[in-house]
Amino acid sequence: MPERYHDLRQVKGYQTHIDVDNGVVESTGTSFFDETVIRALGPKGWGVVILDSFDPDAGNMEHAIEEASALALMTQEEITLAPVEYGGLPVPPLTEDPVNVDIEEKIHLLLAVEKAAKRAEVKNTRATYMERNEEVRFLDLSGNDEHYQVTRCGFSVMAVAARGDVMQMARESHHTIRGFNLRHQSEQGDKAGCLAVALLDAVPARGGRQRVVLDPELGGVFAHEAVGHASEGDLIKEGNSVLQGRIGEKIGNATLTIVDDPTLPEFGFEPVDAEGARVHRTEIIRNGNVHAYLHSRETAAAVGYGTPGHARAMSGDIPQVRMSNTFIEEGDASFEEILAECRDGVLLIGSRGGQVDPGKGVFLFNAEYGYLIKGGECADMLRDVSLSGEILSTLHTIYLIGSERKMHQGYCGKGGQSVPVSDGAPYLLLQDAVVGGSESE
């Protein structure tokens, strides 16, 4: 039963977590994983076998490929694979390898971050630490045999404030691939505590169309949700994206460039993609025009306009076209100019997540808090405010782009898989956006 192609991706390693809650070490532990995905491309589509604790060198590889090939006979989609450049990037060195830090010291440092969030009116504090070490091996029919090891770690701290019946929460976090990051982080706890208390006096937003300023974190989520997902080659191939067939079309102003770049040493870094392809920077939007899509080998062959290198997979799962480090390039406006140009509107800060329907072209994301802008200056604090819009019309409303970009880390879910990503942007001014809030006009 000849397969046209096969590959294997094995991810093994450990994950350590610490959870402290109001000064108590609620749980800590280390878990071990070893998951292997074997794909075979049959006469039409893919057959895949996913196994735990599989040793590709122990003589079972042929059985697995045979089983995957047999499964491939169930498929009818005629898949071809685009050629790729192989070769991985070096993984950026760790400033301090977390494996060399005792669990007791990690707990001590995490408790210090959590303690810094405590103050009057803060009723509960909680902090978590996560450390994940992955050894990845990729083999394919062409004889490629890639190995790399990457360690991701990070923490989050949350404060809950209450006054009477009003309760609010705030959260700060930082995750990285550059090494142990729990030292000297008390100010993150302090920030979460201050913000939770301040939110007790915040007011709900007024719903409706308004001018909106996005901070770099939320601007990054905007790039990710509104543009990044819609540029994913699998959605383009399925006809489930409003960016399908729009290469070369102007959908934003000439200063707007949106990029996905897995080569950056940020949280979404990949030394090589999940199909063994060399990773590279892709400009999705260049100077306001749709320029390229993100691709796997399958979608690059089917759709074009871009090259493979954007396939990613959670351990024990199949490759999907995914973003990595997604951002809006810097413009030249200062924050003060952006506020002054906005005059009256809302400034939205921080992200509580977002979601997009790429086929309909509608996105939504939620800010952690915000401020009313009155006469070009920040006024009342706002809580529970979100922003939605249509991708194609909203990009045209980006009127000013700030000059300083910051990246923030998170996890992105798609098709049941969650992968580490980072997003970023400078401050952005949107001339006309739909803000969700429960207050009447």
Partner 1 sequence: MRWWVVVNPSDRILRYGEKRIEEVEVFSVGGTALSVHLKGRVIDNAIITRTWGMGIRTFEKGKIGFSSTSDPGRWKECLEAAIASGKVATPQEWGGLPERRELPSRASTSDPAVSPEPDIVLPLVEGMLQGAEAYPEVRITGGEVDLFKGEVDIENSRGVEYQAPRTRVSLSLETIKGDSTGYEFDTSTFLDVHPSAIGNKAAFLAAHGALGGGIQTGDHEIILSPMASAQLIGQVVIPALSGRNVHAGRSRLAKLRGKQCMDLGISLYDNPFARGLGSTDWDAEGVPARRIDFINNGVLQQFAYDLKTAYRYHEESTASAVRSGFGGSPSIGAHNLILEGERSDIFEERALYVHDIVGAHTANPLSGDFSVELANAYWMEGDEPGEAVRQAMYAGNVFDMLRSIVGMGKESRVVGSLILPPLRIPAQRIIGA
188 φ, ψ to 5°? -70, -40
Q: Three-class SS of residue 86? A: strand
**CB-neighbour burial class of residue 45 (10 A; exposed 0-12, middle 13-18, buried 19+):** middle
The DSSP string of 1-31 is ---SEEEEEEEEEEEEEEEEETTEEEEEEEE
Residues 286-315 that bind partner 1 (CB under 8 A): none
CB of 332 to partner 1, least distance (A): 31
Q: For CA atoms 11, 281, 88, 61, give the dihedral sign.
A: positive
436 binds partner 1 (CB under 8 A): yes
Given the complex with partner 1, which of 92 and 316 has the nearer CB atom? 316
Given the complex with partner 1, which of 67 and 140 has the nearer CB atom? 67
Pinpoint the alpha helices (H) of 116-232: 186-199, 216-222
Given the complex with partner 1, which of 81 and 362 has the nearer CB atom? 362
Residue whose token pair is 């879910």: 413
Under rule CB under 8 A, how many of the chain's residues touch partner 1? Answer: 87
Residues 183-222 that bind partner 1 (CB under 8 A): 204-205, 207-209
274 binds partner 1 (CB under 8 A): no
* d(C-alpha 196, C-alpha 214), whole Å: 20
Q: Which of 4, 5, 43, 45 binds partner 1 (CB under 8 A)?
A: 45
CB of 315 to partner 1, least distance (A): 10
CB of 384 to partner 1, least distance (A): 4
390 binds partner 1 (CB under 8 A): yes
Q: Which of 6, 132, 152, 237 binds partner 1 (CB under 8 A)?
A: 237
Residues 242-271 that bind partner 1 (CB under 8 A): 242
Given the complex with partner 1, which of 363 and 371 has the nearer CB atom? 363
String marking each residue 113-132 x if it binds partner 1 according to CB under 8 A: ----------xx-x------
CA 348 to chain centre: 19
Whether 16 and 130 have beta carbons less than 8 Å apart is answered as yes
Q: Which of 365, 401, 420, 421 binds partner 1 (CB under 8 A)?
A: 365
Calculate helix-pair angle for 103-115, 186-199, nearest 10 degrees. Answer: 30
Cα–Cα distances (Å) from 96 to 92, 121, 151, 358, in that order, read 12, 36, 11, 40
* Bridge partners, residue 213, by sequence: 347, 429
Residues 14-43 that bind partner 1 (CB under 8 A): 21-22, 24-35
Torsion of CA 178, 183, 187, 190, to 10 degrees: 120
Stretch that binds partner 1, among 259-267, 283-291, 321-329, 353-361 (CB under 8 A): 353-361
Residues 69-108 that bind partner 1 (CB under 8 A): 71-72, 74-77, 79, 103-104, 107
Stretch that binds partner 1, among 53-61, 212-220, 325-333, 422-430 (CB under 8 A): 53-61
CB of 234 to partner 1, least distance (A): 8
Given the complex with partner 1, which of 14 and 335 has the nearer CB atom? 14
Q: For CA atoms 317, 265, 219, 289, give the dihedral sign.
A: negative
Residues 153-182 that bind partner 1 (CB under 8 A): 160, 162, 165-169
